[in-house]
Structure 1
């Protein structure tokens, strides 16, 4: 009888730890809670560069169960990327700006010479992870689970031109055809793909964004200092601070004495427009800290009384498909949430009247009124108002990591 051999699991994920990015943080939590006793795991990821996916050493422990990490360079330098962007912009839509990751398929095969996989698990975004996984699936003829953290062709942020749209439609269809299972993060995205690919309905599964139960906040809430509102995460394009700052200005104009007793803190990457809005704000209670490592971001969330989430200010219903990963970090902090989002969005359905309150971008009056309610509760010393003890286990990384392990073993 032959000795037992661990199955070789290959994870393909451009945005993986120790990069500090929303998708990387989600990947980290799933990696931590996968059951590794049955797997010998190799991770293929991109080499760390600067930009919006910087290195964060506090995330390295999430790789401790990975047997081998293969790093593939995407762009040699920013000048090559800029030149490609100028001369051949259509290449950056095949499928995205990380396309060289899947161009280096032959290089990856050589590096996998002694680690040919028994099963493949890929995480996108970026979508180039899925394209590389498709090529590896076709070569090794093994089961493949494709995870889409955001919609692909139907992602409203892509703004694909004609060639890019045609390429991505073809590749999305191929990936759905050849993937053995496709996992998505929200019920709305699941419904989108069930309608779009009825022939693949049996492949579709919901694997939501998750929180790490080991990080649940057990620190007692204090109300003896300033009332603190905190936003951690990215601000760009229509996911902007305008509505929030307008509401803060209205609140302060009604309650001028509150100015020295309340802080609104924003931390995370922001585009130039949002940076300028925050840094030019004349209110002393508004502070922008820039990007923070994961551990400092976690500390800031725990020190808050109210956690702010801002979704995109768009009429396009496709924006309601997104499941903001920061909501899961907010669950860990066990604090009430103030969300700016569209009615009927994934955020709205999850949070409204259960873990906080939701307001649309144009409801400045409602936002200002709610900030006033928070301030009044703070002055009264009402701790319970700010505390979210009921953390939903359906979003636990422990629960979903075990589900994923079971799925991989079954395949």
Structure 2
């Protein structure tokens, strides 16, 4: 079965989207012909899936659409209501691709596909797929890594928000199937379209083959006996470590002995303003360490060498996002401490048998830290008694790929 897969970002680009969707296509048993961007400005050192081009049937690279000068781009982005907002900056790219690729189909230089799969973000991928379906009648699946018009972290002008709602409705109505990465995202989006009988949930996956060989073994005791709890990934915007710093400050004042020989390590970019924090400055030297960014393979090694891993999400009434980092954490088989609101991540971490605390509840965060530091053996018990295993199996590459290929085959054979 020939599948036309449209994804602006794929390996070797170093974006979470490129890694997650690249993983799907890399391991899929179907014949994928790929449309993606030629990201010439991106560093080519992902260090994973380096033979991606050999694992898919064909890659059609299309150059990025010309952008405005950087300064003008930033000014318009922040002050012009519609600039890059309906749905994003990649609409000219999608238009150019449609013109070229449809000409190849019309001239028989390309053969028709049995199915189209588009991956957003960017949402312009879906607009491209929709135009191809409209012209050629090919069955089409739209995959959403994030919500579209309901995304709480995308601040739109009232008119651009209206336009995006209409675009979302048109896309979801036209697609033969829609994939979401969490049940909460599906409910949020599809509740607006109760008459449409579509929408399936397919989470991210981890690739067990990429972790260090020793990751399945019990964590070796460090020579200095130090306990290292790590957060892997960038922190900026609404996602901030300040709730952790506040809880650590309270714990340091109440039970300082608990924090002796403990280190909270941040591996990845942390916005400078988040480090300029009074609670952080009041903590003893060495309790918090900022390590800086690493590449993807190094990040998996960092996870596997930790005593525990920390999730930090932005405050929300309910979070519908399934962070790909959380699924990478699952693959490392380490205990997890999650500062996250009610929603997708919170439910998943609890299913694993670990604790969660709301970002706005200092007392709950402090109690979660105490639970781990005072009763480490009991806290890690879900890794030994089978509680964790069901989640580990559910998000493996094999499990997710079996579902993905089945969805595509079902649509492509119609």
Shorter-chain TM-score tier: 0.7 to 0.9
Q: Cα–Cα, structure 1 residues 85 and 351, in superposed 2: closer, same or farther, change >3 Å?
A: closer
| Number of positions where the alignment pairs a residue of Structure 1 with one of Structure 2 | 394
| Partner-residue secondary structure (3-state), 2:170 | helix
Q: Sort the Cα spacing of 1:86 and 1:79 in 2 relative to 1 into closer, same or farther, 3 A.
A: farther
Q: 2:171 matched to which residue of 1?
A: 175
> Which residue does 1:4 correspond to in 2?
none
Question: Does structure 2 retain, via aligned residues, the 8 Å contact 1:335–1:386?
Answer: no
Deviation at 1:391, TM superposition (A): 4.9
Post-superposition offset of 1:166: 2.5
1:56 aligns with 2:46: yes
Q: Is residue 97 from structure 1 mapped to residue 89 from structure 2 by the alignment?
A: yes
Instruction: Give yes or no for the alignment of 1:65 onto 2:65.
Output: no
Aligned residues: CA RMSD = 2.9
Which of 357, 360, 363 is matched with 1:362 structurally? 360
The superposition leaves residues 366-397 of structure 1 with CA deviations (integer Å, 9 ceiling, x where unpaired) of 3233323333345xx77944846525222222
**Alpha carbons 1:94, 1:167 under 8 Å: kept:** yes
- Contact residue 29 and residue 62 of structure 1 kept, 8 A: no
| Shift, 1:261, TM fit | 1.4
Contact 1:43/1:70, CA 8 A, preserved across alignment: yes
| C-alpha distance after superposition, 1:20-52 (max 9, x if no partner) | 22222221221233113xx2x22212232668x
Please give the secondary structure, in 1, of the residue aligned with 2:360.
Answer: coil
Residue 285 of structure 1, aligned match among 284, 287, 290: 287
Deviation (angstroms), 1:258: 5.8
Residue in structure 2 matched with residue 205 of structure 1 by the alignment: 200
- 2:99 alignment counterpart: 106
Higher mean Cα deviation, 255-264 or 295-304? 255-264
Aligned-pair CA distance for 1:263: 1.4
Please list the CA deviations of residues 32-73 of structure 1 after superposition, one character each: whole Å capped at 9, or x if unmatched.
33113xx2x22212232668x985233434554112222333
Which residue, 38, 41, 55 being the options, matches 1:47? 38
Tell me by how many angstroms 1:158 deviates.
1.4
Question: Within 1, Cα distance between the matches of 2:176 and 2:39?
Answer: 30
How much has 1:120 moved relative to structure 2? Answer: 0.7
CA gap 1:341/1:382 in 2 versus in 1, 3 angstroms: closer
Q: 1:192–1:87: structure 2 CA closer, same or farther, 3 Å change rule?
A: closer
| TM-score (ref. length: structure 2) | 0.85
- The worse-fitting range, judged by mean Cα deviation, of 355-364 and 173-182 is 355-364
Aligned equivalents of 1:383, 1:338: Cα separation in 2: 10
**Structure 1's 119 and 275: CA in aligned 2 closer, same or farther, altered over 3 A?**
farther
- Residue 321 of structure 1 aligns to a residue whose secondary structure is coil
Gap runs ≥5 in structure 2: none
- Deviates most, 55-64 or 90-99: 55-64
The equivalent position to 1:346 in structure 2, one of 344, 347, 351, is 344
The alignment's TM-score, normalised by the length of structure 1, stands at 0.85
In structure 1, how many angstroms separate the alpha carbons of the residues matched to 2:369 and 2:378? Answer: 15
